[in-house]
Structure 1
Amino acid sequence: MSGKPGATSEQITLTDIDVEQRGHDNSYLENQIVQSLSWKNVTVVVPDRETKQPKEILSAINGEVAAGEMLAIMGPSGCGKTTLLNVLAQREASAKAKVSATVCINGQTPPDSAFRRLSSYVEADDALIGSLTVKETLSFAAKLSLSGVVTATERIRRVDELLQSFGLMNQANILIGTLVRKGISTGQKRRLSVAAQLISAPKILFLDEPTSGLDSAASYKVMSYVRNVAKKNKLIVIASIHQPATKTFELFDKLLLLSGGKTCYSGSIADVKPYFDKIGFEMPVQTNPADFVLDLTNIDFESDGDVAQGKIAQLQEAWASSPTALDEKARIAAEYNSTSEPLTLASEPMHRRYMTATLILLHRSFIKSHRDVVVYGIRFGMYLGLAIMMGTVWLRLVPIQSNMQPFTNCIMFGSCFMSFMAVVYVPAFLEDRMVCIKERANGMYGTTAFLLSNFLIGLPYLFIIAFVSSTFTYWMTNFRPDGQAFMVWVMWMYLNLVAAESLVVLMSCLFPNFVGALALTAMANGIWMACDGFMVQLPALNPFYRYVFSYIDYQAYVFGGLVVNEFGYRIYKCAETPDGCWCQWDTPLKSQCLIEGVAVLNQYGYRLGETSKHVGITLGIIFGMRLMGWAAMQWRK
């Protein structure tokens, strides 16, 4: 198309991936060239929210895009733009949707794994890790996409060129932004999201509202760069876009206009005005074609509903019976019936394999963990303050009978409160999960690598928290003065924190929104506290709660382990009375006015010699919650 902006050769080379650059993996795409993406009879049916009857939100949509072309999907809100984009990208169209569609590359239907390796998707929401800098975000995207495919020098070159081309060079070392630290603007986040997907040189790029949050100048520059890359590298670009400026609209080669779930136009940008003039909807001169077609197809604010619906029906029927639509339909059918070579790809390249992705994610999580105070910093300060508070409230308790209950209360309060306050981790994990969903859908890594790296990165931090907080609580309170006993205390507190974080991960995977995850984690902690053997001793606990909750309650094993550690090996002095002494429990040392702490264990239903068994059960509970979190993420895939 004449008159459209060009690009420098330096910019264009960004996404060139030739055989030499791929090194040992030069069979990555074998001899495949993506010539076209086409689809026919895309129909999506969902249950109506009110009547629960089937409702078509997309009906028999056809279309095709050739390599090097950009297609704009437009239409009023609710017309099905994002749904169609999801169907074309082999993603879930909508909740409870029934999809009927044929989507092909070069006239062939590729397997999902091949399709994902050829395509990238930029979502409308910018799922980014706020504690990384702009440059780090692109660098990790390059590592996850290109490690083992291109050299480290080539990855660095691509990152620098993308920063320059998307106007982010001045923000390269600025954090994206967290809950407590301001970062880059919304528009800059949008540009970064697009750049992060271009770095892997996909053959098909899906963009959901790529210009949202951008002013007209920034929108034009971003889409101009995407167009330059598409033309040079024969990249197919399909974007849902809302009300672009004239210059931005003219960057596209084709338009697919939807309204009411049906096609109102599908063809070249240059033919938009002639087509609508021909069917009786003349476009005024000096009018932005994008504004014109959106005004034409948007009937939400029409006063006469019947007239408005009639206009939309007229537009849909005019297109369905037009020679252009019939030719397109016949051309797509012929392409599907062709005998072109099936699309095949080589085996997964090394950089996509499990351990490499896990190590890269560990590195990224490490940066986040020490930069973002929401992850572990707030919890460290909170637990340290709690430890000092507990040490001063239960300060220097002497081992006498009247202090046996305060010792128990301290154990209960400290273990349960540390578990409960793990909910602070919810927002940090949800941010990571959103990024994982986006990157997993683009084929960068899987759920296992994400959850394994998430688990491993927390272990040293949680141990530091457990050790430092225990140092204050244990010795200030005057629990059993023995070094080995102190380390047993630290071990149980550590397992407590690891289990509590695993509970947060599970609930956040099941209900991935802040309020839902927070509420369910708090509710689960309430159940564990009630059934851990302190409020009601295990022998007296209602059988339902004992057999349904108590045996899978990690807090019960933590509480029991700490109680055994304190009372199983310590002797307390009985209360002195004018008549001698009074011992609350009858133990063999009663004659010496002493009580063996084992009496407390008998009251709570605990026995000595079961520490190893209970540690094993607690580890099993932790593993079980992590496994269920993995299953939940797979289920919500």
Structure 2
Amino acid sequence: MKAVATEGQEASVITDYILKILGLDVCADTMVGNEMLRGISGGQRKRVTTGEMLVGPARALFMDEISTGLDSSTTFQIVNSLRQTVHILNGTAVISLLQPAPETYDLFDDIILLSDGVIVYQGPREHVVSFFESMGFRCPERKGVADFLQEVTSRKDQMQYWVRKDQPYRFITANEFAEAFQSFHVGMKLGDELGTPFDKTKSHPAALTTQKYGVGKWELLKACIAREFLLMKRNSFVYIFKCMQLTVMALITMTLFFRTEMHKDSVQGGRIYMGALFFGMTMIMFNGMSELSMTISKLPVFYKQRDLLFFPSWTYALPSWILKIPITFLEVSIWVFITYYVIGFDPNAERFFRQYLILVLTNQMASGLFRSIAAIGRNMIVANTFGSFALLVLFALGGFVLSREDIKGWWIWGYWISPMMYGQNALMANEFLGHQWNRVMLLKFQC
């Protein structure tokens, strides 16, 4: 709801006003919630969806069966809020309801009665009963008008409302009602209005919408950045746990590849260092897998708001990437600062920061890969399956499990397109071109 924030303000006046008339000001800072997270009530969720459309600002609302799953009191509150909104903001709302309560029915200004695909009546609410009385059907005092309208066109229930005792009853179809409505004064007035050509001189060009989105692209980008930052704060446990996981794994790794047990005087020692580098890259890549679930959980809202022209896709995608960059620097810092010198990699500071940069790029690649897989899969089970498959393919064709010479010709293209291969080769070149490995190269040439 705060996404329409204008420059210099936390929220626009329209936003705060919509919150108040929809009765959402008491829960404006409460999460909506889901099956696993307690949030606002069902009626408030319906009103949040309505509020999303109103702050657009949308001048025409078309709402179908909004009372599904709600009690009559909640439905009344929602329709009453909509009534106030469209009256004050000069909007239009077309709402279809099945068996509304009498108090909810009385909130409408006009009624459209559909039966068998035919418009039986369309006009002011005050005249709908008199129209059916002119046809010989009367609504009993004990009966709600909405229930009467639903039953009067039904073959099973129509007869009980027949009041012309001097004429025998016969079933009147929806088409006959529609034809009679054309002769009713409301129908005649409606026909005259529709038959009058629109006078273009009475309209102002400013009344036409000339922009695809309600506000500028910069404002949309700022709103999406603010929302993504809020979501990151709410998911802070995930990032804290990932940092703790990296810390624990870094401590385990540095004790496995302890520098006093690592030797740089043989090819065998180089292979152990290659294993340490490969394991570090593997950990950094696996750390990006959490993007799968977080991206999938946000997709329903994204697709709904994108299709309703809340924002272009790029304003949603950029914050998801940009705001994760500091997290990447933090995660890679934890791994490199703990393991680099304890394992015994080249002590040159330049090579230290090169390894740091390579792992940062690797983490960004992994995060982007898993976000892409989540967007393609759109389902947790499918995305997890594809994500695991993608990791296995990257590992198999990355050049460590099988060297380039051992990969068959028909799979060599997979080796060249594997981003893990480039990252892994960069780590290897950064380490083994150091001065500490010169002695191994000399021994190899002497042999």
With the length of structure 1 as denominator, give the TM-score of the two structures: 0.57
- Give the number of the structure whose residues are more often helix, by fraction: 2
C-alpha displacement of 1:354: 2.1
3-state DSSP class of the match of 1:536? coil
Contact 1:399–1:571 at 8 Å: present in 2 too? no
Cα deviation for residue 169 of structure 1 reads: 3.3
Out of 408, 411, 414, which is 2:277 matched to?
411
Letter in structure 2 aligned against 1:566: E
Equivalent residue for 2:331, pick from 458, 465, 474: 465
Who is 2:95 aligned against?
239
Aligned equivalent of 1:507: 373
Given the superposition, is the C-alpha separation of residues 173 and 591 from structure 1 closer, same or farther in structure 2, using an over 3 Å criterion?
closer
| Residue of structure 1 equivalent to 2:52 | 196
Q: Equivalences for 1:56-67 in 2 at 5 Å?
A: none
Q: Does the alignment pair 1:385 with 2:248?
A: yes
Partner of 2:425 in structure 1?
Answer: 560
Match of 1:223 among 76, 79, 98: 79
Give the secondary-structure state (helix, strand or coil) at the position aligned to 1:479. Answer: coil
Q: Secondary structure at the match of 1:352?
A: coil
Partner of 2:220: 357
Contact 2:121–2:181 (CA under 8 A) maintained in structure 1: no
Structure 2 counterpart of 1:267, from 100, 122, 130 = 122
With 401-410 and 466-475 compared, the bigger mean Cα shift is at 401-410
Q: Per the alignment, in what secondary structure is the counterpart of residue 207 of structure 1?
A: strand
Distance 2:147 2:249 in 1: 59
For residues 418 and 136 of structure 2, what CA distance do their matches in structure 1 show? Answer: 71
Is 454-463 or 348-357 further displaced after alignment? Answer: 348-357
Please give the alpha-carbon distance, in whole angstroms, between the structure 1 residues aligned to 2:381 and 2:189.
48
Contact in 2 for aligned 1:370/1:377 (Cα 8 Å): no
Of structures 1 and 2, the one with the larger relative CO (CA 8 A, separation 6+) is 1
Q: After superposing the two structures, state which structure 1 stretch, 349-358 or 529-538, moved more.
A: 349-358
Name the % identity. Answer: 20
- Partner residue in 2 for 1:428: 294
Which whole-Å CA distance do the structure 1 matches of 2:383 and 2:153 have between them?
40
2:443 to 589, 603, 606: 589
Structure 2 residue 6 is matched with structure 1 residue 141: no
SS of aligned partner of 1:589: helix
What displacement does 1:328 show?
9.4
Gaps of 5+ in 2: 156-171
Structure 1 residue 495 displacement after superposition: 0.9
Deviation at 1:226, TM superposition (A): 1.1
Choose 1 or 2 for highest CA Rg. Answer: 2
Q: Give the superposed CA RMSD.
A: 4.0
2:305 counterpart residue number? 439
Q: Which residue of 2 aligns with 1:483?
A: 349
Tell me whether 1:184 sits opposite 2:40 in the alignment.
yes
**1:414: Cα distance to partner?**
3.0
Letter of the 1:174 partner, please give it. Answer: T
Deviations 1:598-618 (A, max 9, x none): xxxxxxxxxxxxxxxxxxxxx
* Residue 170 (structure 1) aligned with residue 26 (structure 2): yes
Deviation at 1:175, TM superposition (A): 3.2
Write out aligned runs for 1:37-56 (5 A): none
Structure 1 residues 275, 499: CA separation in 2 closer, same or farther (over 3 Å shift)? Answer: farther
Q: Structure 1: which 5+ runs fail to align? A: 1-137, 300-313, 575-585, 594-637
Q: Is the 8 A contact 2:306 2:313 kept in 1?
A: yes
Give me the whole-angstrom Cα distance separating, in 1, the residues matched to 2:84 and 2:371: 42
Letter in 2 for 1:569: G
The correspondence for 2:391, drawn from 513, 525, 544, is 525
Between structures 1 and 2, the one with greater strand share: 1
Q: Is the 8 A contact 2:118 2:175 kept in 1?
A: no
- Taking the aligned partners of 2:428 and 2:98, their CA distance within structure 1 comes to 63
Show the counterpart of 1:631: none
Q: Counterpart of 2:168?
A: none
C-alpha distance in 2 between matches for 1:487 and 1:180: 42
Contact 1:190 1:213 in 2 (8 A): no
Whether the 8 Å CA contact 1:352–1:444 is kept in 2: the answer is no
Q: Which amino acid aligns with 1:340?
A: K
Q: Equivalents in 2 of 1:316, 1:476: separation in Å?
A: 85
Matched with 1:340 is 200
* 1:271-309 deviations in Å (ceiling 9; x for gaps): 66666788899877644555666689999xxxxxxxxxx
Task: Tell whether the 8 Å contact from 2:296 to 2:379 is kept in structure 1 after alignment.
Answer: yes
Read off the aligned partner of 1:234 and give its amino acid letter: N
Aligned to 1:253: 109
Query: How has the CA–CA distance of structure 1 residues 215 and 501 changed in structure 2, closer, same or farther, with 3 Å as cutoff?
Result: same
Which range is displaced more, 565-574 or 246-255? 565-574
Distance change in 2, residues 1:446/1:256 (3 Å): same
Instruction: Figure out how many residues of one structure are paired with residues of the other and give that number.
Output: 422
- Give the TM-score taking structure 2 as reference length: 0.78
